[in-house]
Structures are given as structure tokens and as C-alpha cells.
Structure 1
Amino acid sequence: MKAPALAAYALLGLPLAMAMLPIYVLVPNFYAADLGLGLTLTGTVLFLARLLDTVQDPWLGRLIDRRSARGWNLLLASSAVLLSAAMAALLIPPDSLGRFALAGWLGALLALTYTLHSLINITYLAWGARLSDQPEIRTRVAAWREGAGLIGVVLASVLPTALATRYGMSTALGVFALTFAVLLCLGGAMLLRAAPRPQRVARSDAQSWRLPLSNGAFRRLAGVYFINAVAVAIPATLALFFIADRLQLATLTGLFLALYFVSGALGLPIWTRLADRLGKRRSWRLGMLTGCAAFIWAVLLEPGSAWAYAGVCVLSGLALGADLALPPALLADIIPPEQRDSTAAYFGLWSFLAKLALALAGLALPLLAWVGYQPGSQAAWNLALVYAGLPCLLKLVAARLLTSLPCGDPTP
């Protein structure tokens, strides 16, 4: 599969990855502080919306599998238009709403945005898994998609913050909503018009979202993926606290995040080529171990260690490429040919595990409180251990379990 075809498929990954960072990071503060909704009401609405987002993905996967190829096209096109409108309404709410009406607006738009994003994302992942039966092609498809996604994350990290500093948060979110809509519609159009078509399979009316659970290889891979996803989500949850309170370098937060994600994008071709030589399973395990070796040094960093932490960001970011490209390619490999009509069901459960891992990583905050850390104070070893030590321990467990996974390696 040539680069133009891969690029036509991958482009949609940019706005899809771009969407979630403002919703998770900027929207809570915007509604709670700028719009006056308050922490308690905002937090309650966010919890309920995220709970819905977590549990609905397996059923959405089943719904997608029941659609024909034409149905996929219609689903993607309509969902992209609706998601653009929902994102704009979420980020640019009416001025005249009362407090409880604003809470209702936030809850309804979050639920709609989460659902539409999941519909597009699961269909998009299933599309990529059905592009080829050749394992090496699947790895390249995943690498191109995740590379575009990392560009989207960097853009979402930089654009709102830069605009907010100069024009205010309301204007920044409005510009972001417009940029997102243009990129989403462009990516959807490229996918539908220029990307390779997914292989057509016979549809089954007896599908169930539980079908992937009958696949032993999926259960083992899902277990490894979930443990590793929690290991990745914990540092993502605690990064701002670590940079501000342990390193006391809050002004360099944007630079550190950019170094990490850009390094992840640069590392994707390395892991793709390595997977061709060693196999996906061995390469992913090597990526986990490399990530541990690079990231564990964060435990030892003292306040003001800007250059040392930048090195940690670069090296662990390079290892991130393995976590992004290889697991979805491994998942595509283990779906039996007779279950190709249930590809979206597999990725629906996969998405559920990713979101569950993110939710579970939130428990790192009460764990920090239990060991005596308070935000805003100069942090000692307790924050560093939870931020870097615990994720490395989980990655070692995942790497050990991955050793017994009989897929993704070339036949001797």
C-alpha cells in the first residue's frame, strides 16, 4: 500500500485525536470557572457523561458491524457533520442560560459529542483493520493513523493555549471549534473519496458485542493492553502536578508535552520497521521495556531538572510509538477470518478498555492524597513514585504477560 493511500486514510486520525484534549482539559475549567457553573455541578455532569462514554462503546461496535459498506459511508459523513456542530455548541454555549440550564447544556452536549466521536472512531479503526490481510500492511496502517493522531494532540495542546493567552478563552475555543470542524470534514472526505476501501464481508444478524470475549487470544491481548493502558494513563493524569510541584517548572509544561508527543511521532517509523523484522509482539515488549528504562529516571529528578526531564520526555516519547502502533495491529491480526463481520465489535471493546484505563488512572489522585501529597506544595518522593514508579511496575507486568501471547511474531 503506497504512501498517498495511507495518508488519505490516516488524515482523519488528526482531528479525532485533536478533539478529546480540550474536552478533558479545557472544558471543565471553562464551565466551572469562566462560566460560573461551579466545581461540584461541573464535576457531577462530567462524571455522568464519562460514565456513559465508557460503557456505550461495545454496543456502538455491534451497531457499526450491522451496517453495510454504504452504511459505513453514511454513518461517517453524517456523524462528522453532527460532531462538528456538537463541538461548536459545547465550546461556544449561549450567554443567557441559567446555572442549571447551563449544566443541562453541558451534559447533553458532552453525551452527544462522546457518542458521535466514538461512532466515528470505532468505524475508523475497523476500516483500517479491514484494509488488508497482510500483517505488515496492518502495522503501517496503524502507524500512519497514530502518527496523524499525535500531530492532532500537539495541535490541540498548542492552539487553544496560545490563542487564550492573547484573545481570551472564549475566543480561543471558538477558533478551535472552527479549526476542528474544517479538519474533521476534510479528513472524512479524504477517507470516503481517496482512501482504500475496507474488505467487504458478509454481515451476520446474530452478532453480539460479547463475541470477541469467546476469542482466547483476544482475552489475553486485552489483558495486556489494559494493564499497559493504565500504565500510560497514570503519567498523563499526573504530568501537570509533577512538572509544577516536583520539578517546579510549570512555565515549561507546553514544551515538555510537545517534546513527548513529537518524539512519539518520530518513533513510529522505527517501531514499524522493527515489527517487520522481529514481529509485533516482540517489538511491543521491547517498547515497554525501553519505556521503563527511559521513564524510571523521573523518580530521581530534583526541582529545576529541566534538561534531564526533557531527555526523559524524548526517550519515553520514542518508546510511546510502540504503544500506539503495535497493539491495534496485533488486534487486527487475531480476529479470525470467519469473524471479520464483527471487526467493530472487537474495536468497541478495545475502546471500552482504553477509556476504563483512563478512568482507573484517576484513582492515582486519591492515592497521592493517601501518601500525603497536596497539590501546590513542594512534592517529594511520594509524587515521583506514583507518577513514574507505579507505571513502570505495571509495564513490567504487561511485558511479562505479553511474552506468552502467541501472535504477531514471524514464523521461525
Structure 2
Amino acid sequence: MTSLGYAVSQRFPAYTGFAAVLSGAGLPIYIYAPKYYADTFGVSLTALGAILFGLRLFDVVQDPVLGWIAERLRNGKAFVVTAGAVLLAASMIGLFAVTPLIDPLWWFGLMITGLFSAFSFLTICFYAQGIAKVGDRDGGHVQLAAWRESGALTGICLAAIAPTALVGFTDAPFAAFAWGFAAATLLAVLFMWREWTPASVAQAPTPIRAILSDGITRRLLLLALVNATPLAVSSTLFLFYVESRLDAPGWEGPLLVLFFLAAATSSPVWSALARRFGEKPVLLCAMVLAVAAFGWTLTLGAGDVTAFAVICVLSGATIGADLTLLPAMFAKRMAKIAPNGGQGFGLWSLVSKFTLAFVAVLLLPLLEGAGFEAGPDNPQAALAMLTRLYALVPSILKIVAIILLTLTTLED
């Protein structure tokens, strides 16, 4: 049986579709939501950052609990996942398609809490199901990751361009996006329904303490925290950078698509390279390329759209490696020490979202403190701060990630 035939027989395309929906509720929301509420309702960037950071503190308790719940779901898993998907869709509609029923800041907080709580639970269940699906089959986690993360990156592309692309068709592009997302969520749930099964061999839930006692797991979680933060930074500041630093309003959507399309199309390539050369050396090469791309960004100014488009392709390709290889490496480790996967991916989800908390609580207030306001007219000091935050901070963090990965042994 061919590789494609095997993947289809294993229903990997269902994972592609579900990953696409989940990813649409992740990074694109951090790209659009703060700017949308700042532009539409005049909400302070510092206040939005405080709300997002408060939610991350809530995640410290919530995500491990959600992982505990996910590990104990067996025969009724499909129904519970469906309920989570309904909350996800309803929160997206409330965030973008409903006029705030209370103060916009608190409405934002309420909707974003529902959205990301559902997102966390579904993500934990989804990645844990991948462990149950593949087990310890050689190369299985990288193969499933290629299908899953290609879908995730495709979903990011679609969610990133949709609000901009819909401008010419409706007066409320974000509302149209929210309703379309809700419909896609229901379809993805239907296609994944048969997959929500227990592992073929019953496994006792693994306590968090036992997972964290594993040295390789701790190093992978630390690496994920440091390595994912540059993406959180660039995603949150992308729209501001294009509009204000490049002075290129209207180019946000095409450049976002270029960035995430490069990530999506590169994912199968990174997966194939990892199967041949190993995940660690391939990921190190991608990290070095990312540092070069961020370094080039430091030299750009108003009007440098073409150069930034090339940077979007290069940096987007490196994100394809990050989002494909790191989860596969972590899933492979979980298959050995915590086959149920729920608690492990609860920690993974928590670490991933803390990178966005870093941006929310530190960088947005720094940007606003430098005199930056959403829009094209900003003082040079504010634009200089935006450039440093968008390009210099990710470069430093990527270098730290390279050092961590170099010193990390992935097998015991």
C-alpha cells in the first residue's frame, strides 16, 4: 500500500480537517482580536494585554484539569468533544459577530475565555487521540504530524486571510468570518466523530508529577516555551508592523497569507527531511534560518514591502518546521511515558499559550508606553520600539532555543 493509500485508510485526512479548524481559533485570533477591539471599540492595548495575561494565569489551573478530564474520557468522548466544539463556535460568534452586550473590554474577556477554554480542551483531546491512534509505531508520529500540521497551517492561512478577503463582499467581514468558522467547526466535528475512541490497550492515567519527573519531557517543554515565543511575538504585532512600520495598509492580508502559506507548504518537506535525517538536526537548520530572517527584518523601513514578502516566505517556512517537528517529538515521548497523553498535552497547551501571555503582558504595554497607537501616524521612537519588539526580541529568543536544542538529548 502506498503512503497516501495508507494515510487515507487510517483516516488521517480527518485529522487534517479538525486541525484546520482548531488552528483558525488560535494564532489568527491573537493576530486580529487585539487590533479589532482597539480599532472598533477604542480599547487600550495595555488593558487588552492585562485581560490576555489574566487568562493565561487561569490556564495554569485550567489546562492540567482539562488534561485530567481528557484522560478519563472513554465511551462518551465524541459527545464531550462536540460540546467543546459548540462552545468554540459560539464564542467566536460572540467575539466578532455580536455587538458587546456589556463594556467591550469585559465582553472581550468573557468571549476570549470561552474561546480559549474550548480551544485548550479540544487541542488536548486531539493531540492525545493522535498518540492513541499511532501508538509506538516507528515513524508514525511524524507521518501523522505531517497530515495534522499541514491542516493546521492551512487553517491558519484561511483564517488569516478571510477577514481581509471578505471586505469586498460584506460590510461586516469579521462577523462573516465568525459565522463561516462556526459552520466549518461543525463539519470538522462530523468528520472526526469516528476517531474519538480509547487507546487499543487501556492505560492508567499518568499523573503530572510522573510526567514532569522525566528529564527529556522537561527539556522539551522548556524548548517549546522559548521556541514558540517568537511566533507569538510576530503574530501579535504583525498587523501593527505592516500598517505602521512598513507604511503599507492593505498589504496585511496578502502578506499574512504568504507567511502561513509558506508554513503550510513547507510542513510536508520538513517531515520528509526529518524521516531521513532526524528531527533534531532538521529543526536546528530551520531555527538558524529563522534567526537570519528576523535579522533581515531589523533593516527594513517604510515601503520595503517586497523585501518583507521574501522574509515572510523564509520565516513562514521555518514555522512549518516548528509546528510539525516539535509536537511530533513531544508526542513520541508521551507515547513512551504517558500513553493516554491527556495530562502531557495539557502541559504542552499551557506552555504554548504562555508564550502569548508574554506578549500580552510585556510587549503590548511597552509598545503603548513608547507612544504607539494603531494607525499609520506614529512618532519615530514608537516605530523604532515596534521594530525592536517585532524583530530583535524573536531573534534573541531563537538563539536561546538553538542553544537549548543543541544541549538536549532526545533519547534515553
Aligned AA for 2:12?
Answer: L
* Higher alpha-carbon deviation: 82-91 or 246-255: 82-91
1:9–1:196: 8 Å Cα contact kept in structure 2?
Answer: no
Residue 85 of structure 1: aligned partner: 90
Matches of 2:141 and 2:321 in 1, distance apart?
14
- Among 74, 81, 86, the alignment partner of 1:76 is 81
Shift of 1:223: 1.2
Aligned AA for 1:13?
Answer: A
CA distance 1:197–1:140, shift in 2 (3 Å):
farther
Shift of 1:335: 2.2
TM-score relative to the length of structure 2: 0.86
Task: Give a deviation string over 1:192-237, Cα, whole Å, max 9, x none.
Answer: 23x59663343436x4333321111100111111111112222222
CA distance 1:285–1:14, shift in 2 (3 Å):
same
Q: Does 1:398 align with 2:404?
A: no
CA distance 1:29–1:226, shift in 2 (3 Å):
closer
- Among 4, 7, 15, the alignment partner of 1:3 is 7
1:175-324 to structure 2, matched below 5 A, reads 175-193=176-194, 195=195, 199-204=199-204, 207-324=206-323
Unaligned runs of 5+ in 1: none
Matches of 2:14 and 2:149 in 1, distance apart?
13
Matches of 1:225 and 1:274 in 2, distance apart?
20
1:279–1:408: 8 Å Cα contact kept in structure 2?
Answer: no
Residue 14 of structure 1: aligned partner: 20
* Higher alpha-carbon deviation: 32-41 or 320-329: 32-41
Residue 351 of structure 2: aligned partner: 353
Shift of 1:162: 3.1
Residue 121 of structure 1: aligned partner: 123
Aligned AA for 1:157?
Answer: A
1:80–1:120: 8 Å Cα contact kept in structure 2?
Answer: yes
Matches of 1:256 and 1:127 in 2, distance apart?
34
CA RMSD of aligned residues (A): 3.0
TM-score relative to the length of structure 1: 0.86
1:65–1:203: 8 Å Cα contact kept in structure 2?
Answer: no
Task: Give a deviation string over 1:42-70, Cα, whole Å, max 9, x none.
Answer: 776555445434541122111111222x2
CA distance 1:37–1:216, shift in 2 (3 Å):
closer
Shift of 1:354: 0.8
Aligned AA for 1:286?
Answer: C
Q: SS of the counterpart of 2:139?
A: helix
Task: Give a deviation string over 1:303-343, Cα, whole Å, max 9, x none.
Answer: 211211111111111121110100111001222535213x1
1:281–1:408: 8 Å Cα contact kept in structure 2?
Answer: no
Task: Give a deviation string over 1:350-388, Cα, whole Å, max 9, x none.
Answer: 110111111112323444567x56342346655433322
* Higher alpha-carbon deviation: 46-55 or 243-252: 46-55
CA distance 1:119–1:214, shift in 2 (3 Å):
same
CA distance 1:266–1:360, shift in 2 (3 Å):
same
CA distance 1:394–1:45, shift in 2 (3 Å):
closer
Aligned AA for 2:7?
Answer: A
Shift of 1:77: 2.3
1:11-160 to structure 2, matched below 5 A, reads 11-20=17-26, 23-28=29-34, 34=40, 48-53=54-59, 55-68=61-74, 70-93=75-98, 97=101, 99=102, 106-132=108-134, 133-160=136-163
Unaligned runs of 5+ in 2: none
Aligned AA for 2:170?
Answer: Y
CA distance 1:28–1:406, shift in 2 (3 Å):
closer
Aligned residues with identical type, % of pairs: 36
Q: SS of the counterpart of 1:131?
A: helix
Q: Does 1:163 align with 2:169?
A: no
Matches of 1:43 and 1:365 in 2, distance apart?
6
CA distance 1:225–1:94, shift in 2 (3 Å):
closer
CA distance 1:198–1:316, shift in 2 (3 Å):
farther
